[in-house]
Amino acid sequence: MKPTVAQQIGMKQQQFERLFAKYQRVVYCGVYSVTGNTPDAEDAMQSLFLKLIDQGFSEDSVRDPAGYLFRAGANEARQMHRAQERRSRNHTDDEVGLLRDPATDRNRGAEAMRERLLEAMDRLDPEQADILLLSVERGYSDAEIADLLGKTRGAVAMALHRAKERLKGLMCDEPKWGENQ
C-alpha cells in the first residue's frame, strides 16, 4: 500500500534528524564562512536542510558527505546572499553585539577588512570560492578537494593559486562609483 503524505514526511523526518545531528556543524561552518553573520547563516542552513528533506538526500549517495554538505551550505548561503542587497541590510544581531563591545573602535577596522574579504569572495567564481573555502576553512588537501570535485590534483592546485591571486586583485580594487549604493 502506498504510504500517506504524513507517513512519507515522518520517514523523511527521522532520516533528517540523523543527518542533521551528524552534519549540522559542518553545514554551519560552510554557511557562516560566506555570510559572516548568525541570522543569515541560520536562514541558509534551514533552507538547505529543507531542500535536502524534499530531495530525500541520503549521505550514502555521495563519497564525502561532509565535504559535499559544506560546499552545499556555502552555495546556499551564496545564493541567498546575492539575492539580498548587502548594503541595505539592517543591523544584525552580530553588529549590535559589536556596537556594545568596548573595543568597537579597534574592531571596526577588523570588521571592515572582513566585509571587504567577504565581498571579494562573493565576486569569485563559485567553484574557485568553494576550493578556497575547502582549503582554508576545512583544511582539505588539494588531493581531497580533487576527489570531492572530480578534478585532478594539479587542476585544484592551479585553481587555488588563481583564486588567491584574483582575491588579491578584488580586495585592492577601488569600488566603482554607484556599485555599492
Partner 1 sequence: MKPNDMDIDEILKRYLPRATPEEADAAGERVLKRIRHILAGSQRAGRAGQADVPNHGIRARNARRGKSGSGAPRGSPGRFCIKDSEEGFTGRLLPMR
Q: Which residues bind partner 1 (CB under 8 A)?
A: 4-6, 8-10, 12-13, 16, 20, 24-25, 28-29, 32-33, 35-38, 41-43, 45-47, 49-51, 53-54, 110, 113-114, 117-118, 132-133, 136-137, 164-165, 167-169, 171-172
**Quick one: 60 or 174, whose CB is closer to partner 1?**
174
Please, what is the minimum distance in Å from the beta carbon of residue 111 to partner 1?
A: 9
Distance of closest approach, residue 73 Cβ to partner 1, in angstroms? 11
Q: Give me the least distance between CB of 82 and partner 1, in Å please.
A: 15
Q: How many CB atoms lie within 10 A of CB 172?
A: 9
Rounded to a whole number of angstroms, the minimum distance from the CB of residue 78 to partner 1 is: 13
